[in-house]
Amino acid sequence: MNDLIVKVITKMLFPFIMVYGFYVMLHGHLSPGGGFSGGAIIGGGFVLFTLVFGLAKAEALLPHRYLKYVESGGLLFYMGIGLFGLFTTGYFLSNQSAGFYMGEAFTLFSSGMILYITFAIGLKVASTMITLFRYIIDEEYDHD
Partner 1 sequence: MNQYPIMMMVLMLASAALIPIVNVKFKQHLHAFIMIVMSALVLLGIFNVKHVIAFGESYINFGGYRASIGIEFYISQLSSLFVLFVIVLSWIIILYSLKDMDHHIANSKLKSYYTLVFLMLFALIGLSFTFDMFNMYVFMEILSLTSAAIISIKDKRENILASFRYLLLNTIGSLSILFGIALLYMVSGHLNMGELYRSMSTLIELYPMNLLLAIGFMFMGLAIKSAMFPMHVWLPDAHSTAPSPSSALLSGIVVKVYIFTVIKLMVYVFGVDVIRTLQIDVAISILAVVGMIMGSIFAIGQKDIKRMLAYSSVAQIGYMFLGLSLLTSAGIAAVMFHIITHGIIKSALFLSAGSIIYKTDIRDLRQFNGMGYTMPLTMAVFSVAALGLIGIPGINGFMSKVYLSLAIVDGGQPLLLGAILVSSYLNAVYYLPIIINSFLRNDPVSQPNMIAEKLPNVMIASMLVLLLAMIVTGFYPQLFMRSIESAVAFLGL
Partner 2 sequence: MIESILEHINYIGAMALFIIGLYTVLTHNNLLKRVIGINIMETAVFLFFVSIGYVEGARAPIVLENGETLFVNPIPSALILTGIVVAVSITAYSLSLIVKLYQHHQTLDMSEIMAAQSEDRS
Q: Which does 88 bind (CB under 5 to 8 A by kind): partner 1, partner 2, none?
A: none
Given 14, 20, 36, 84, the residue binding partner 2 (CB under 8 A) = 36
Those residues whose C-beta lies under 8 Å from the C-beta of residue 137, and which sit 6 or more positions away, are 50, 55
Q: How far is CA 57 from the centre of its chain?
A: 20
State how far the Cα of 69 lies from the Cα of 108, in Å rounded to an integer: 27
Tell me: does residue 142 bind partner 2 (CB under 8 A).
no
Question: In the complex, what is the shortest distance from the CB of residue 129 to partner 1, in angstroms, rounded to a whole number?
Answer: 16
Given 2, 3, 32, 65, the residue binding partner 2 (CB under 8 A) = 32
State how far the Cα of 2 lies from the Cα of 4, in Å rounded to an integer: 6
Tell me: does residue 12 bind partner 2 (CB under 8 A).
no
Given 10, 37, 95, 128, the residue binding partner 1 (CB under 8 A) = 95
CB 122 within 8 A of CB 25: yes
Segment contacting partner 2 by CB under 8 A, of 51-59, 65-73, 111-119, 134-142: 134-142
Residue 125 burial by CB count (10 A; 0-12/13-18/19+): exposed, middle or buried?
buried
Tell me: does residue 60 bind partner 2 (CB under 8 A).
no
33 phi/psi in degrees, rounded to 5: 140, -125
Q: How far is CA 64 from the centre of its chain?
A: 15
Tell me: does residue 91 bind partner 1 (CB under 8 A).
yes
Site residues, partner 1 (CB under 8 A) = 68-69, 71-72, 75-76, 79, 82-83, 85-86, 89-95, 97, 142
